[in-house]
């Protein structure tokens, strides 16, 4: 069992907990104009109940469907209302804002982050539209077999000529926790195995951490570190750095508790030197 081998047995035991490890990523939005919340119609207990799951009347079911339909329409419309307000605000601050955006992009950063809805790259860093080229996936992984992230790195480095590549994870990552779960997660297994491999590489250090939460947070950090190494292994990065002296790699972790980014101070030059003993792709 993975839990026995890794000393992680107390984490997530039930099938329900394991299958929902990735679903606990969302929290209520904090935008200035929050989206409406679904309120389903309830039927007084005196009303006879039958047929629908043995607990709902046909009228109750119809009302619930209408409420859901209304909710879906409202949350759809709210996004467009917010968009119009945002666009007007940008023009008020800078009449040429959209003219500049339409002229093209020249971002300084490539941001490789987690898909978690609570970590919008621009908001937590103060960056503006056009400052960062963004790629996100579950647990901010950089897998050499993932043509999506490999294409993003290639384009960002060779064509956009970004100066910084940031791999940003976060404490409380559902993907990392799911990977620590001794449970078959179906289609997610091959993806999460990359995180389990990170544990295997650092098993001695992680097993020496007695506190479960501290071990979990350390794995989050080590996962970011290993993904930085995977970026360094790419030909695009190595060749651009040899020719231009950029981009350089950073590993950061976001903390939900205080909103602060932690710089892991990844030693890019040392990693590059070590990597090129085997993965030298500079021709």
Q: What was the pLDDT predicted at 34?
A: 56
Which pTM was predicted? Answer: 0.79
Query: With 90 as the cut, is the pLDDT of residue 19 above it?
Result: no
Q: What is the pLDDT of residues 218-263, one digit of tens each?
A: 999 999 999 999 999 999 999 999 999 999 999 999 999 999 999 9
Model confidence pLDDT, tens digit, residues 93-116: 999 999 999 999 999 999 999 999
105-283 fold: Beta-carbonic Anhydrase; Chain A (3.40.1050)
Residue range(s) of every CATH 3.40.1050.10 domain in the chain: 105-283
What residues have CB less than 8 Å from 202, skipping those under 6 apart? 219, 222
37 pLDDT more than 80 = no
In the set 60, 116, 135, 228, the catalytic residue is 116
Between CA 222 and CA 205 the distance in angstroms is 10
DSSP, collapsed to helix, strand or coil, labels residue 277 as coil
Annotated catalytic residue 218: no
Give pLDDT, residue 44: 45
pLDDT, one tens digit per residue, over 176-193 is: 999 998 899 999 999 999
3-state secondary structure 149-172: HHHHHHHHHHHCCCCEEEEEEECC
Mean pLDDT confidence for 154-158: 98
Residue with tokens 């955006």: 101
Task: Name the catalytic one among 56, 63, 118, 164.
Answer: 118
To the query of whether residue 168 is one of the catalytic residues in this protein, the response is: no
173 flagged as catalytic = yes
Q: Phi, psi at residue 89, to the nearest 5°?
A: -65, -40
Contact indicator for 13, 180 with CB cutoff of 8 Å? no
Clarify whether 118 is annotated catalytic.
Answer: yes
Active site residue 170: yes
pLDDT digits (tens, 9 = 90+) for 46-91: 444 444 444 557 777 777 888 999 999 999 999 999 999 999 999 9
The residue annotated as part of the active site, out of 60, 135, 136, 173, is 173
| Given the residues 170, 215, 229, 250, the one annotated as active site | 170
């Amino acid at each position: 069992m993975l839990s026995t081998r890794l000393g992680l047995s107390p984490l997530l035991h039930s099938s329900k907990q394991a299958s929902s490890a990735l679903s606990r990523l969302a929290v209520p939005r904090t935008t200035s104009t929050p989206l409406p919340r679904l309120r389903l119609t309830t039927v007084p207990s005196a009303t006879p109940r039958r047929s629908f799951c043995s607990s709902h009347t046909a009228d109750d079911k119809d009302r619930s469907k209408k409420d859901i339909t209304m909710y879906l329409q409202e949350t759809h419309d709210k996004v467009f209302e917010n968009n119009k307000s945002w666009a007007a605000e940008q023009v008020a601050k800078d009449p040429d804002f959209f003219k500049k955006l339409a002229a093209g992009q020249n971002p300084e950063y490539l941001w490789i982050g987690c898909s978690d809805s609570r970590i919008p790259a621009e908001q937590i860093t103060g960056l503006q539209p056009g400052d960062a080229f963004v790629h996100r996936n579950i647990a901010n992984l950089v897998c050499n077999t993932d043509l999506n992230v490999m294409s993003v790195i290639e384009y960002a480095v060779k064509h956009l000529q970004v100066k910084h590549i940031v791999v940003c994870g976060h404490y409380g990552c559902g993907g990392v926790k799911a990977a620590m779960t001794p449970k078959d997660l179906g289609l997610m297994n091959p993806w999460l195995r990359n995180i389990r491999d990170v544990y295997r590489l650092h098993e001695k250090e992680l097993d020496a951490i007695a506190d479960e939460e501290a071990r979990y947070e350390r794995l989050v950090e080590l996962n970011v570190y290993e993904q930085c190494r995977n970026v360094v292994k790419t030909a695009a990065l190595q060749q651009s750095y040899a020719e231009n002296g950029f981009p350089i790699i950073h590993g950061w972790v976001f903390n939900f508790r205080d909103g602060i980014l932690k710089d892991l101070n990844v030693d890019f030059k040392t990693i590059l030197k070590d990597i090129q003993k085997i993965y030298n792709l500079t021709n």
